[in-house]
Chains A and B, each alone.
Chain A
Amino acid sequence: MTAVSEAVTPSAMRTREATVRRFALTDTIFRTATRLSAILVLVLLGGVAISLITGSWQALSKFGFSFLTTESWNPVTENFGALAPIYGTVVTSAIAILIAVPIGIGIAIFLTELCPRPLRRPIGIAVELLAGIPSIIYGIWGLFVFAPFLQTTVQPFIINVFHNVPGLSSLFAGPPYGIGLLTSSLILAIMVLPFITSITKDVFDTVPAVLKESAYGIGCTTWEVTRRVTIPYTRVGIMGGVMLGLGRALGETMAVTFVIGNAHRISASLFAPGTTISATIANEFTEADGELYTSSLVSLGLILFIITFIILAIARYMLLRIDSRTGA
């Protein structure tokens, strides 16, 4: 009873109003803080773009468009061109995707159609752990374990097999260095495999059971159901996963830096050492003396940023489309 009578006294009314005002104030502060943080995410991306453009201005204004088409990279004469790193980046990523996509989709089919239920989660986690291993670990493993293995066994064998075949003989021309474009591609394939696998598995799970069951009902085999029902239904999502993997492969730095050989030239042979955009930056940035050298390296970063931004944007757009279809 006392509480009620207190509540109607004028002084209690004033305290209540003050409390409400205080609540409104703290709520506004909190709301503004969250909003500013969200905007900061946009500012970050904008800041990255602006800083790369200003940093690369000197090199781009000196070399102009020919920066993209020049193979030479000579710190002594200060003549820089991005063609060799761009070539290395595109070739290694493309080969990595060609290897990783069939294996990734295969693992996804295994996990959704074949794997005994109790093993599903452990195997799924094991494959995702591949994504958790830091890239420098792939690098040190690639340099000390994988590259010597390729050099002594796989590469001499391939060179012998193809040395009389026109076309392929120059693609697989020796000597076997161990390190080089193909080794980098293989390491990249292992690294992007978990991304492709987990997204493919996720989109496979969105296929309505009734669609698959009706295909099984008319006598289709597991492969036919996968090939004719599951994959067509999830095509956009798989493409999104592949693009995401491609974005990762293009920007991957440390693992490639270890095994690519860091040679600024374009060779026909996949066994030859080469370089990628990110490996060039990682190898040379701290040693770069002279504004033009540094600026050229930042220009490489700008090119990489633009390429990966476009690829990742396409990937996200495709994955959004499959999300909106399933209503998730």
Chain B
Amino acid sequence: MSVAMSLHQRRKRKNGVMMALCVIAAGIGLAWLALILGALVYKGLSGVSLSVFTEMTPPPGDAGGLLNAIYGSIVMTIIGIIVGTPIGVLAGTYMAEYGRFSRLTTVVRFINDILLSAPSIIVGLFVYELLVRPMGHFSAIAGAVALSILVIPVVVRTTEDMLNLVPNALREAGTAIGAPRWVVIRSVAYRAALSGIVTGILLAIARISGETAPLLFTALNNQFWSSNLNAPMASLPVTIFQFALSPYEEWQQLAWTGALIITLTVLGLSIFARSLTGRREDR
């Protein structure tokens, strides 16, 4: 009897220990998030002022802002999204609508999932070989193309997943009244999957607006205001990289402020994107 009791107690104790470790693990995960966000707010907030959004990046040792970097980031993100989204949506459409059971779809899905997690610095090298080397100079166009290559796999994945969720009865109803296939896709399937596809695009924006590695040797950086797409352009992440590793205090402060701006933008976008699909699940 006592042997049975001790075994029971040992099992209970082991269970207690393991479950406590799991709670601790969850605590560690949440603590890291709090630590990182806390440090960002603490170090970044003190540098937030109007001049950050109205002045150019300063020379070493001077005060200034991040206007040209913010502008460059926005321009390249927008071009990246405009180029990448249609390709991604169309490819996802093929996989979910025209070729749902074809061999091509299986292969594309596999390759797309690999592109989704592939190191972004490889994309930078690819665009360098593809555009920068033949053109002979760094340019904002090259940076935007690198970003669009990162957009495509995200949008392909969500578009395919969301179109697969659209009930076939809806498509059949469209076909039954004589609508051709592409009208059914455009007016029925896209409309039903709209919020999901938009979520994918928002997640893609969130992903590329913080990307640094693919811009390092495509768009390079620019100390000054430049709206020339054929010339090097500043971007927020690359500026943070350069300023944070510099020995100048003003630059490091600007790097922290820029880091806070990027993080708030990215987290805001991904929470907003999640809330779009979250509402869908509740319905």
Interface residues of A (CB under 8 A from B): 23-24, 26-27, 30-31, 33-42, 44-45, 47-48, 51-52, 54-55, 102-107, 109-111, 113-115, 123, 125-127, 129-130, 132-141, 143-145, 190, 193-194, 197, 221-224, 226, 244, 247-248, 250-254, 257-258, 278, 281-282, 285-286, 298, 301, 304-305, 308-309, 312-313, 315-316
Contacts and interface: CB of A to CB of B under 8 A. Distances in A.
Interface in B143-194: 149, 152-153, 156, 180-183, 185
Given A106-B24, A134-B212, A304 B122 contact: yes
Nearest to B252: A144
Contact of B118 (A40, A126, A223, A308): A308
B39 interface: yes
Contacts of A144: 39, 43, 244, 252, 256
Contacts, number: 263
Shortest 9 CB-CB contacts between residues of A and residues of B: A251-B119, A134-B210, A106-B25, A34-B94, A221-B15, A37-B90, A51-B129, A37-B91, A30-B182
A143 B126 contact: no
B223 to A, nearest CB: 15
Nearest to A42: B111
B244 A123 contact: no
A254 B212 contact: yes
A125 B273 CA distance: 12
A40 B130 CA distance: 15
Contacts of A27: 180-182
B80 to A, nearest CB: 14
B81 interface: no
Interface in B47-103: 86-88, 90-91, 93-95, 97-99
B263 interface: yes
Contacts of B262: 134, 136-137
A112 to B, nearest CB: 10
Given A55-B125, A140-B240, A38 B91 contact: yes
B130 A222 contact: no
B108 A42 contact: yes
Interface string B19-39: 101111110111011011001
Contacts of B156: 41
Given A134-B211, A141-B36, A221-B11, A110 B108 contact: no
A129 B33 contact: yes
B3 interface: no
A248 B193 CA distance: 30
B274 A125 contact: yes
B217 A286 contact: yes
A51 B108 contact: no
A41 B91 contact: yes
Contact of A130 (B32, B88, B217): B32
Nearest to A29: B182
Given A35-B99, A304-B122, A107 B152 contact: no
**Consensus secondary structure, chain A interface:** helix
Nearest to A31: B98
Quick one: which of B129, B153, B241 has the most chain A CB within 10 A?
Answer: B129
Interface of B is mostly: helix
Interface residues of B, number: 89
Interface string B101-132: 00011011011111101111111011011100
B32 A305 contact: no
A251 B122 contact: yes
B204 interface: no
B276 interface: no
Contacts of A137: 36, 40, 210, 259, 262-263
A137 B240 CA distance: 9
30 contacts: A35-B94, A35-B99, A37-B94, A38-B99, A38-B108, A40-B87, A41-B111, A41-B156, A52-B125, A54-B129, A106-B24, A106-B25, A109-B19, A127-B30, A132-B206, A133-B36, A134-B209, A135-B212, A140-B240, A144-B256, A194-B29, A222-B19, A223-B15, A224-B15, A244-B117, A254-B241, A282-B213, A285-B216, A286-B216, A286-B220
Given A24-B180, A109-B22, A193-B32, 17 more contacts: A23-B180, A27-B181, A27-B182, A39-B104, A41-B112, A51-B130, A52-B122, A107-B26, A111-B26, A134-B237, A135-B210, A145-B35, A251-B118, A257-B241, A278-B119, A285-B125, A308-B119
A115 B22 CA distance: 10
Contacts of B40: 137, 141
A301 B240 contact: no
Contacts of B271: 125, 129
A140 B19 contact: no
A45 B114 contact: yes
A252 B119 contact: yes
Contacts of B123: 48
B144 to A, nearest CB: 15
B28 A37 contact: no
A90 B63 CA distance: 41
